[in-house]
Amino acid sequence: MDSKKRQPLGIELVKKGIVSEADIEKALEYQKAEPKKKIGDILNILRLCDPYILINAIGEILDEKAIYLREADLRINMLDYISIDIAKQYKAIPFEENAGKIKVCFADTSNRRAIETVRLLLLNKGLIMEKYITFETNIDAILNSFSPNPENIDVNADVSGFIDSVIKSAMEKRASDIHIEPMQEGMRIRYRIDGVLIDVANIGKEKQTQIIGRLKAISNMHQEKQEAQDGRIVMYPEYNIRVSSQKNIYGEKFVLRLLKKNEDVKSIFDLGFPKDEELVKKAFNKKNSITVIAAPTGEGKTTTLYSIIDYLNRPEINITTIEDPVEIRINGLNQIEVDPKITFASSLRTVLRQDPDIILVGEIRDKETAEIAMQAGQTGHYVLSTIHTIDAIEVITRLRKMGISNYDISSTLATSVSQRLVRKLCPYCLKEREYTQQEKEIINKIGDKYGIKFDLNGKKTFDAVGCKKCNNTGYLGRIGIFEILILNDELRTLIVDNKSAIEIRNSALESGYVPLIVDGIYKMLDGITNMQELNNKLAIY
């Protein structure tokens, strides 16, 4: 952006009341470290003004059409009109075509060479160009989404350097998993970031054999075998990397799970648990009982268990964990890792002879493990475990189906917690707006169902936009939404009497049980996430 030799842009913006003099001072201070960035872009980066208001004000000052450009505004495939190299060189993006005219955004409308080059390219296609101005960060975010490879993946390196760059880039981008997948015409590489798979590279088919060979070598797998194998990569000091291979119709697919060593355990409240100390004490500070965390795979059950253990851990308490695998090593704990020869059930029998106060069992998978866990909870121990089911009430149904008696469930189960992980809005690029009437109706309908009046007065919601910091997803990090079922005498009686899950749920709601969706809406009203993300997890509309 440029001020066309008039008064400095910052002064013009202050005159219009768009920003304050203090805002301009902050922007100028930032510019000392980033002298190539223009004041308008810096004001946007620092979020010192609503970006839509800011870009339109800049357009008025420069006498240019302006737009806050997002991927949603791209009505055409940019690459059908100009190459990615031209787009990057001149910071230009064609975004809409109609009746022989094409709209093109530029980060700098004073760059006459850029304007003329792009105009002529489009004129050769029979199109008249209308130029617009937008922020350079908007241009960069969209161009990055067209880039086939992340900046730190070296596709031209030898196979060892390439695999190393893939793994290190995944670590830098906070990926939990790397998928390396043979396809019909090449190999696709994807990262799972905040629970979502993102394409990051496509490699030619000619390198497939070398890549598979290298992965097997560093994972300590058999080179000749093509059936499923498990391995580990131990060459990165800060990470445990579990590797799984599986043959598909185009070759062998690999999934690398990245587990950071010595990672700090998060507080239960930082995970998103209701900030109520009394509730935490009531839910987890137990003896002669069992607490179960329920959720589908990949929803953070183990992380929650670690946080509870960290909350309860004291020098005078003997805590033993049985895990598959041990993901985080915690000082003061006795941690056991199961393998094909050592099961949860067999380990649990041994642990009971080790004078434990608290036992963490990674997962209740079968009747045998469930029965031993229940026995442990009935003989003076506090047992924490996880189970695969949809919500806190269904924990009771799942234990019943495993063959656990109503009496044992009623007398031993103290608390069941269900959770989901929702993505948090990226603070660097979110866009504030009013709730639509439809959204308000959805919120009020849910409130009516559970007898809750949500306060929407003055509340704004946010759209996910996307920027470089969030890999152009609009979300950065995840937080848990929770429901907590603490069994009281009435619920125990219903369980013993073999009442249905519906009857148990109705009674729980009357005694203060808060379903997942309600906690999710509270987090949405606090601006942490949005309705789109809640719907992705809980299908609320």
Task: Report yes or no on 118 lying in a domain.
Answer: yes
Calculate the average pLDDT of the chain.
89
**Domain interval for residue 102:** 9-145
Confidence category of residue 2, pLDDT binned at 50, 70, 90: very low
Are residue 212 and residue 336 in the same domain, yes or no? no
* pLDDT (0 to 100) of residue 151: 55
- Measured CA to CA in angstroms, residue 210 lies from 158, 162, 200, 204 at distances of 10, 11, 19, 11
* Region 49-74 average pLDDT: 91
- How many CB atoms sit inside 10 A of residue 13's CB? 24
Strand partners, 97: 102
d(C-alpha 313, C-alpha 316), whole Å: 9
* pLDDT (0 to 100) of residue 7: 79
* Region 443-455 average pLDDT: 93
Number of residues in the chain: 541
Domain boundary among 260, 285, 314: 260
Residue 356: exposed, middle, or buried by beta-carbon count in 10 A (0-12, 13-18, 19+)?
Answer: buried
pLDDT tens for each residue of 185-221: 889 899 999 988 888 888 888 999 999 999 999 999 9
Q: Are 41 and 1 in contact (CB under 8 A)?
A: yes
Task: Report yes or no on 55 lying in a domain.
Answer: yes
Query: What DSSP character marks residue 339?
Result: B
Are residue 384 and residue 529 in the same domain, yes or no? yes
Task: Report yes or no on 266 lying in a domain.
Answer: no
Q: Are 26 and 48 in contact (CB under 8 A)?
A: yes
Confidence category of residue 146, pLDDT binned at 50, 70, 90: low
Max alpha carbon distance in the chain (Å)?
83
pLDDT tens for each residue of 263-296: 778 899 999 999 888 999 889 977 889 999 999 9
- Closest residue by Cα to residue 312 from 296, 289, 345: 289
* Region 4-9 average pLDDT: 70
* pLDDT (0 to 100) of residue 196: 84
d(C-alpha 499, C-alpha 406), whole Å: 10
User: How many structural domains comprise the chain?
Assistant: 3
Are residue 177 and residue 138 in the same domain, yes or no? no
β strands within 289-387, DSSP E: 289-294, 319-323, 334-337, 358-361, 382-387
Are residue 191 and residue 169 in the same domain, yes or no? yes
Are residue 302 and residue 216 in the same domain, yes or no? no
* pLDDT (0 to 100) of residue 299: 93
* pLDDT (0 to 100) of residue 145: 67
Question: Which of 104-113, 123-132, 336-345, 406-415 is the least confident region?
Answer: 336-345
Task: Report yes or no on 151 lying in a domain.
Answer: no
* Region 54-65 average pLDDT: 93
